[in-house]
Chains A and B, each alone.
Chain A
């Protein structure tokens, strides 16, 4: 354990905030959010196996305003975690370590996740015939 008054190395707060840092911490945050999504998916699958009436109840929760907001957030978390995860795999292979490319790839994960999330929800509403 850390001892009191021990000299500390410069930590996160001394660095200028950048896209690469945001992606890094968001990978953990979105991963944790997706764990909640996994619990919700389990609930949904159990409801589907339970029967028509209970499934309709759960679909009702999912379709409510709060339900849609949660699902929209989980969609974004999934897409951001996916893009950020692919970036991590490329870095595991030794790519993307030059600073400009690293920052650009970090920004690209946000471009992908935002466009993919909006695209998924546009397509879903299109399928439902709402749009």
Chain B
């Protein structure tokens, strides 16, 4: 088959969706980042199991903990956004419903991230 691609298109490597392998690669990069972040998250929550409000606040106020929790939320929500997008693409076939689902997914993910990160920052900088 004759190669109809221009040299520029080959170099860009973006394909017909004009997105290249960005989605796939981002999913893997966030997956790798999630490994240490999940270990931190699980170890922290086991270590603080059964604690009260004041102790949890004191834990989250520590600068390293605040930053790691923000990184965990941001990375995890981005990873979740990419994964659930594939689910919608695979199982929702009606174009209108698919479009609405994608928009709803994006809004929900941004809302989750905003609420979580705002809560962390409020505790980190609060009195």
Chain A residues with a Cβ under 8 A of chain B: 1, 28, 31-32, 34-35, 38-39, 41-42, 45-46, 48-49, 51-52, 55-56, 78, 82, 85-86, 88-89, 92, 120, 123-125, 127-129
Contact = CB atoms under 8 A, between A and B. Distances in A.
B46 A56 contact: no
Contacts of B122: 49
B32 interface: yes
A49 B93 CA distance: 40
A55 B46 CA distance: 18
B101 to A, nearest CB: 13
A28 B87 contact: yes
Nearest to A45: B119
Given A38-B76, A48-B53, A56-B53, 10 more contacts: A31-B84, A39-B112, A41-B116, A42-B115, A45-B120, A49-B122, A82-B38, A85-B34, A86-B35, A128-B49
B31 A35 contact: no
A35 B56 contact: no
Nearest to A88: B31
Interface of B: 28, 31-32, 34-35, 38, 42, 45-50, 52-54, 56-57, 60, 73, 76-77, 80, 83-84, 87, 93, 112, 115-116, 118-120, 122-123, 126
A89 B30 CA distance: 11
Describe A's contact surface by its main secondary structure.
helix
Nearest to A127: B49
B38 to A, nearest CB: 6
Nearest to B81: A35
B84 A32 contact: yes
Contacts of A89: 28, 31-32
A9 B73 CA distance: 42
